[in-house]
């Protein structure tokens, strides 16, 4: 995937909006790596990795949203 942080954030957001699964493989305060998975068997099809603060904030937001949805 492109190293462009904005493109990576858009790719993750599109993935999420289409209901496709993804998983955080690594998350530190300054970096994250995310695996994009297939809907059927969870096969990894791509990875996104970035140190961009907006990408990290998006991951945190999506994880918080998923947690709050699962608690309902």
Q: pLDDT tens digits, residue range 1-11?
A: 556 878 999 99
Q: 35: which residues sit within 8 A by CB, 6+ positions away?
A: 22, 23, 25, 44, 46, 47
Query: Confidence band (pLDDT; 50, 70, 90) for 72?
Result: low
Average pLDDT score over residue span 43-60:
95
Which domains are present in the chain? 5-65 (3.30.160)
What contacts 8, CB < 8 A, 6 or more positions away?
Answer: 1, 2, 48, 49, 50, 52, 55
Specify the length of the chain in residues. Answer: 72
Query: What confidence tier does 69 reach under pLDDT thresholds 50, 70, 90?
Result: confident
pLDDT at 3: 65
State pTM to two decimals.
0.86
Angle between helices 5-17 and 53-71 (to 10 degrees): 20
């Amino acid at each position: 995937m492109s190293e462009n942080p904005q493109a990576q954030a858009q790719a993750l957001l599109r993935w999420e909006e289409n209901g496709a699964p993804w998983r955080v493989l690594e998350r530190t305060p300054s970096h994250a790596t995310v695996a994009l998975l297939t809907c059927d068997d969870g096969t990894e099809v791509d990875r996104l990795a970035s140190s961009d603060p907006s990408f990290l904030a998006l991951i945190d937001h999506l994880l918080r949203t998923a947690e709050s949805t699962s608690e309902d």
